Amino acid sequence: MNITVMGTGYVGLVTGATLANTGNQVVCLDLIESKITDLNNGISPIFEPGLDDLIKSGLKNKNLRGSTDIENCIRESDLTFICVGTPSNKDGSIDLTYIKSASASIGRALRAKEEHEHTIIVKSTVVPLTTEEVVLPTIMKKSGWKREQLGIGMNPEFLREGSAVKDAQNPDRIVMGTSDDMSLKQMNKLYEMHNCPKQKCIPRTAEFIKYASNSFLAAKISFVNEMANLSNEWGIDFEEVAEGMGSDSRISPLFLRAGAGFGGSCFPKDVKALSAASKENKVESKMLKATLEVNETQPLNVVRMAEERLGVIKGKRIAILGLAFKPDTDDVRETRSEVVIKELMNKDAQIIGHDPKGMANFKELVDIEMAKTGMEAIKDADCIILMTEWKEYTELNYGKIKEEMNGNVVIDGRRGFNQKRMEETGFDYKAIGLG
């Protein structure tokens, strides 16, 4: 199948490279020429385990290439995926600027296509009715095509940063939102090799499934964090509580790990968008609001723990280990490290940070001193705060850490260190939900 993927972010690149790897002819489209040049040279603009190899394989097999030529890409393809960004407005509502622009570009490009048949599948995360009431009308207006000439579908992505390639190659489910036979036929053909549950529904249902899924998981995290905070007051180790909860099949052990809150490009943005949409439709969700409120204050508990042990924050050298919002990614969007660092800076702490992949991106958020390695960050530190549980940090030699530090305070925002070993080594160790 000849496929155009609009957008070369996390979703677009992973989708395009994965589809190329299954034998399709894929063109990844972007208006930024430098990104396309890098892509065609086998250089990924983002870090994602396995993605570099997938891109290089696609280029070598000539199943994958990048382009800035919208008209030519659309004219030569059978199917177009829309994988552009859907950022938040100041009020949390979804910004559809890129969706509208992509739809208009597709419509204009279709005018030059001789074969008047084309399928467009929205993969970007959009609020219900966007595919039907924004994407479709725009494409029809700009192309002059009739409805029966177009296949329009919504196929939400469920990719986890850090394991996006594996998730794309082995999905646990596929949601196919469509209201016409053409798009359903194309998606069935595209995903026929995947032996997983496939749900067929209308586009607005598919759109809502994505939002409801992410909001549920975000709410689960916020609930767990509140319970972990409560366990601290009662001297209870929340990991034991989570183990007991997770053994209940109705709950499952997933997303029961307490920490400094959720970040990234999906959960915060999607919960905000759904919350804003609920207000707009006069069905305001108190639960979504509470989920966001808990997540905003949760990182401050990390700062409070540090302050309780150090006594005075001002002038103290504090090493922040981990700047990306999770391990195995360079994504710093909505990272809880930013909240912690800004609060510490407000208290006049001396901050030094490190992250295996996210330092360059984080520099664009907050300009702090960066160390070349985790151990360099630790040297002469009065306090260590673990904010991202990279193996590079959790597998460090505790004795060596103790030797390099000026103090002995360790605040674990992700429960990444071994409590017993930390305490045996002589650290003043505190973690969220430790009791």
Residue 8 contacts residue 39 (beta carbons within 8 Å): yes
140-199 confidence digits (pLDDT tens): 999 999 999 999 999 999 999 999 999 999 999 999 999 999 999 999 999 999 999 999
E runs forming strands in 89-170: 118-122, 150-154
CB 58 within 8 A of CB 39: no
Compare 46 and 384 and report the one with higher pLDDT.
384
- Using the predicted structure, report yes or no on whether residue 325 has a pLDDT greater than 90: yes
Give the integer Cα–Cα distance in Å for 72 and 273: 34
Under 8 Å between Cβ of 44 and 52: yes
pLDDT digits (tens, 9 = 90+) for 391-424: 999 999 999 999 999 999 999 999 999 999 999 9
Position 360 pLDDT exceeds 90: yes
| Predicted pLDDT at 116 | 85
Q: Is 23 exposed, middle or buried (0-12, 13-18, 19+ CB in 10 A)?
A: exposed
CB 271 within 8 A of CB 214: yes
How far apart are the C-alpha atoms of 236 and 223, rounded to whole Å?
Answer: 16
Q: Give the strand order in the sheet containing 383-386.
A: 369-370, 350-354, 317-321, 383-386, 409-412, 428-431
Q: How many CB atoms lie within 10 A of CB 77?
A: 23
- Residue 72: phi, psi to the nearest 5? -65, -40
Half-sphere exposure (Cβ direction) of 351: Cα atoms closer than 13 Å = 24
Residue 435 has pLDDT above 80, yes or no: no
Q: What is the DSSP pairing of strand 150-154 with strand 174-178?
A: antiparallel
- Residue 45 confidence (pLDDT): 87
Q: Which amino acid is at 145?
A: W
Q: Greatest CA span in the chain, whole angstroms? A: 74
pLDDT at residue 273, as a whole number: 96
338 Cβ contact partners less than 8 Å away, ≥ 6 residues apart: 332, 362, 365, 366
The answer on pLDDT for 115 being more than 90 is no
Q: Give pLDDT, residue 395.
A: 95
Which tokens hold the place of 64? 């994958």
Q: Read off φ and ψ for residue 433, nearest 5 degrees.
A: 80, 15
Q: What's the average model confidence in pLDDT over 108-119?
A: 92
pLDDT at 314: 97
266 is catalytic: yes
Cβ proximity of 90 and 15 under 8 Å: no
How much is the average pLDDT of 206-223?
A: 98
Mean pLDDT of 290-311: 96
| pLDDT reported for residue 163 | 95
355 or 282: which leads in pLDDT: 355
DSSP 39-75: HHTT--SS--TTHHHHHHHHHHTTSEEEE--HHHHHH
Average pLDDT across the chain, whole number: 96
Check residue 342 and give its pLDDT.
98
Rounded Cα gap, residues 312 and 299, in angstroms: 18
Confidence category of residue 114, pLDDT binned at 50, 70, 90: confident
Q: Which residues contact 160 (CB under 8 A, 6 or more apart)?
A: 167
Distance CA 357, CA 376 (A): 16
Is pLDDT at 240 greater than 90 in this prediction? yes
Instruction: Decide if 376 contacts 354 (C-beta within 8 A).
Output: yes
> Among residues 263, 312, 236, 289, which one has the least CA distance to residue 92?
289
Helix 267-280, helix 286-310: angle, nearest 10: 140
User: Backbone dihedral region of 413: left (phi > 0), alpha (psi from -120 to 50 degrees) or beta?
Assistant: alpha
Per-residue pLDDT tens digits for 242-254: 999 999 999 999 9
Bridge pairing between strands 174-178 and 79-82: unpaired
pLDDT the model gives residue 150: 97
401 near 319, Cβ under 8 Å?
no
pLDDT (average), residues 336-355 = 98
Number of Cβ within 10 Å of residue 308's Cβ equals 11
**Residue in 28, 83, 266, 383 annotated catalytic:** 266
Q: What is this structure's pTM? A: 0.94
User: Tokens 């919208």 identify what position?
Assistant: 70
In angstroms, the Cα distances linking 390 to 44, 151, 309, 393 are 21, 43, 24, 6
* Structural domains in the chain, sorted by start: 2-200 (3.40.50.720), 215-431 (3.40.50.720)
